[in-house]
Structure 1
Amino acid sequence: MPTLAPEGTLATQPIGDLVTEAGATITDATIAYQRWGEFRGEPDGNNNVLVIEHALTGDTDVADWWGPLIGPGLALDTDRWCVISTNVIGGCQGSTGPSSPHPDGRPWGSRFPAISIRDQVTAEKLLLDALGLTRVHAILGGSMGGARVLEWSLMYPEQLASACVIAVSARASAWQIGIQSAQISAIERDPAWHGGDYHGTGQAPTAGLAAARRIAHLTYRGEQEIDERFGTTPQTGENPLGRYRDPNQRFAVESYLDHQGRKLVERFDAGSYVVLTDSLNRHDIGRGRGGLNKALASITVPTMIVGVDTDILYPYHQQEHLSRNIGTLLGIAKLVSPIGHDAFLAEFRQMDRILRRFLDLSQTTSDEDAGDYMI
């Protein structure tokens, strides 16, 4: 039987040395995770484990960012399912990343290697192996989490019975690389960046990280939603139409983006933001596999695709491309929302229906190969 942390508790699991796709080594790596619901079934066969993959600046606490979807009787019914969520390698919420201690005792900082989505999945496989799980019922994730789900399906198809890929593409587009590189540049141009070795200096590139978040947040939300909420309204008590430009006299949307930047600075490490954003730039499931369509066609894991009709960052046509070419398609679902990319983190009623449908379909598919254990 697998050895799992107490329900809801943030736990860390050593996974040993991780050798990256590019040949670097992360020594004595650790992955953080949380678990909800009791394990049932066989650790190397049919069981009730759902692995949830978080987005770029997310964390293991699914009960926080997907709260209305996880719990007894909800879409991710913890009376039925054992939900496990990991913190990605390179992150800053318990897993080894740039702010973590290097084996020499100092922070990794600039010595932390570049990682790919495939490296993230390799680390998660090492985690599941360490926990005693060699197969799970499903892996689900959105945005960067969805990219990891795709790579899971290609790298270790024998270890998952089904997959749900939300709001992501088969590879990074040039536009995505461009907008994400601009965010990285904002951080690296902050004088407090110190080449990535700011940990322990008493300084941090908070201005750069906040600027990166302001850029990113505009790609996470829909143009229609932002305009309807703010338009050209000045921030209360401020006048952005004065004789000279004054950064303290803002439009309401500027104040909103400043707020988003401050919130991220309070909870996230700039080094992790750079490493993980760079991993999204490297996302390409066709690399070394004969191209995108050949790679997609080779996916044998039954997969549900989900997209958002107003997504600027990962437009819906990219999910349509996935659905047309993936080898074993369970179905495609569209979130209809003015919110944009973040709709999968906000439109809970629609996500509830989609996740219930996915789990119903995945159960039907897995029943065909089920042994003694039935969920």
Structure 2
Amino acid sequence: MAVDVGSAREVAESVRAVAAALPAARTAAPPPATGAWREGDPAGRRRFADVGDLPLQLGGVLPRVRLAYETWGGGGPPAAPPALGEHAPPPAPHDGGAGGEGHPTPGWWPELVGPGKALDTDRFFVVAANVLGGCQGSTGPASRRPGSAQPWGSAFPRITVGDQVAAEVRLADALGIARFVAVLGGSMGGMRSLEWAVAQPDRVGAALVLATCAASTADQIGAQSAQITAVVSDPGWHGGDYHDLPAGQGPHTGLGLARRLAHLSYRSGAELQERFGRTAQPGEDPLAPVHPGRFAVQSYLDHHAAKLVHRFDAGSYVALTDALNTWDVGLGRGGTDAALAAARTPMVVAAVDSDRLYPVADSARTAASPAAVGGLRVISSTAGHDGFLVEAEQIAPLVREVLTLGSR
């Protein structure tokens, strides 16, 4: 993917300067060149489906696509109605359950997915796939290119949210699922829920479209493009072909910077102020005249950056962020408003009141669709965009409502 980053030399020097100003990563070992799941790593709960050659929305064909996925619930269809959980980057297809071998972190919706929970795995057969372009077992920049021993790297083509859903449709076919009772997701997962509802109305009973937009705005594209620039300007990027470099030599600084930028949009300013204010990180002095330490909020961002570079792939970050930039449910459908007006799959549309990444107005546009049930639902939270992950008590009734709508 071509990205206009101005003078490559000037940007690279800027990245080096920022890296020099940041504290050393507080980890026992340098991060691997990529944090992607790779062949030979523990599979954990992952299963794999080969879904064939995939025509791409922006041109070309991605050959021999594979999706990693997980399932919960006994029997599967038709014994249990199937539901599709759509994750947001960077999680793996691990909606519920604890971490463990093959899964360094717990499920991303642990309070909502499981026996007796809102998405009850005693009643429903729950499917979650690692998104196309991801790095947890599905085809993406870090996966092996067909016919080669090398990863896709710089040769990985541009993909869209529409392509991601087209691959998931193939997965549903492979699993023998003709129709999902519901498709549920937030953030980028909410985009895929909306795309499913519009593109596959006969295969979705209802959709939960949570904390997202129907088309990326200039503000979102600008912020996300800055994250891409941070990654591709890192000297360790090597044009996207860094995956087999030794530990510590990948584009870790750029990926960490991108994560810091993104994380600021995931939380609200009010929450950050309440949690951290101008407090110094314990044992450090941010006002020291020489070699200053960090404010607590800087340490918080450093922590999240260090976590990401150990468990994610920079190429996937670029590919998925680019897919966020190109997202428009109206692409090829006469425009955003026309696509929303024509939607006929029942949708529950919800926003988080403190979300500064996908503000309430973005969801209000989707909720104006005739297919939206009950108007816009607003979740009250100080957590910002991440409210779609943490406000389980408010989201659980929406999940149950969508499952009821889809079961009719």
Same fold (TM over 0.5): yes
In 2, Cα distance between equivalents of 1:261 and 1:326: 41
What whole-Å deviation, never above 9, does each CA across 1:136-194 have from its counterpart, x for those lacking one? Answer: 11111110011111111121111111111010011000000000001111101110000
Is the 1:39–1:81 Cα contact (8 Å) retained in structure 2?
A: no
Q: Which letter does structure 2 place at the counterpart of 1:92? A: C
In 2, Cα distance between equivalents of 1:330 and 1:164: 12
Question: What's 2:90 paired with?
Answer: 57
Q: CA deviation at 1:327?
A: 3.2
Taking only aligned residues, the RMSD between alpha carbons, in angstroms, comes to 1.5
Question: What's 2:353 paired with?
Answer: 309
Question: What's 1:141 paired with?
Answer: 185
Question: What's 2:119 paired with?
Answer: 76
Query: Which secondary structure state, in structure 1, belongs to the residue aligned with residue 258 of structure 2?
Result: helix
Is the 1:302–1:330 Cα contact (8 Å) retained in structure 2?
A: no
Q: TM-score of the superposition, structure 2-length normalised?
A: 0.83
Q: CA deviation at 1:330?
A: 5.0
Inter-CA distance 358–332: structure 2 relative to 1 (3 Å threshold): farther
What whole-Å deviation, never above 9, does each CA across 1:309-337 have from its counterpart, x for those lacking one? Answer: 00000001111111113435354321100
Is the 2:357–2:385 Cα contact (8 Å) retained in structure 1?
A: yes
Is the 1:13–1:31 Cα contact (8 Å) retained in structure 2?
A: yes
Q: Which letter does structure 2 place at the counterpart of 1:285? A: V
Question: What's 2:264 paired with?
Answer: 218
What whole-Å deviation, never above 9, does each CA across 1:97-151 have from its counterpart, x for those lacking one? Answer: 1011112111100000010000001111111111111211111111001111111
Summarize the alignment of residues 11-22 of structure 1 with structure 2, pairs less than 5 Å apart: 11-22=47-58
Q: Which runs of 5+ in 1 are unaligned?
A: 1-7, 367-375
In 2, Cα distance between equivalents of 1:175 and 1:141: 22
Q: 2:402 aligns with which of 337, 348, 358?
A: 358
In 2, Cα distance between equivalents of 1:362 and 1:156: 14
Inter-CA distance 95–330: structure 2 relative to 1 (3 Å threshold): farther
Summarize the alignment of residues 1-375 of structure 1 with structure 2, pairs less than 5 Å apart: 9-39=45-75, 42=78, 48-63=81-96, 64-103=107-146, 104-202=148-246, 203-244=249-290, 246=291, 249-329=293-373, 331-363=375-407, 366=408
Q: CA deviation at 1:40?
A: 5.6
In 1, Cα distance between equivalents of 2:370 and 2:219: 23
In 2, Cα distance between equivalents of 1:328 and 1:339: 25
In 1, Cα distance between equivalents of 2:374 and 2:174: 30
Instruction: Report which stretch shifted further, 322-331 or 283-292.
Output: 322-331
Structure 1 stretches of 4+ with a deviation exceeding 4 A read 39-43
In 1, Cα distance between equivalents of 2:151 and 2:331: 32
Q: CA deviation at 1:237?
A: 1.1
Inter-CA distance 22–262: structure 2 relative to 1 (3 Å threshold): same
Is the 2:348–2:372 Cα contact (8 Å) retained in structure 1?
A: no
In 2, Cα distance between equivalents of 1:40 and 1:271: 34
Q: Which letter does structure 2 place at the counterpart of 1:16? A: G
Q: Which runs of 5+ in 2 are unaligned?
A: 1-43, 97-106
Inter-CA distance 41–96: structure 2 relative to 1 (3 Å threshold): closer
Question: What's 2:35 paired with?
Answer: none
Inter-CA distance 338–62: structure 2 relative to 1 (3 Å threshold): same
In 2, Cα distance between equivalents of 1:97 and 1:258: 26
Q: CA deviation at 1:66?
A: 0.8
Is the 1:51–1:138 Cα contact (8 Å) retained in structure 2?
A: yes
**% identical aligned pairs:** 48
Query: Which secondary structure state, in structure 1, belongs to the residue aligned with residue 119 of structure 2?
Result: coil
Query: Which secondary structure state, in structure 2, belongs to the residue aligned with residue 115 of structure 1?
Result: coil
What whole-Å deviation, never above 9, does each CA across 1:206-228 have from its counterpart, x for those lacking one? Answer: 11111100000000001110000
In 1, Cα distance between equivalents of 2:74 and 2:344: 28
In 2, Cα distance between equivalents of 1:102 and 1:323: 40
Is the 1:303–1:330 Cα contact (8 Å) retained in structure 2?
A: no
Q: Which letter does structure 2 place at the counterpart of 1:227? A: Q
Inter-CA distance 39–296: structure 2 relative to 1 (3 Å threshold): farther
Q: CA deviation at 1:38?
A: 2.4
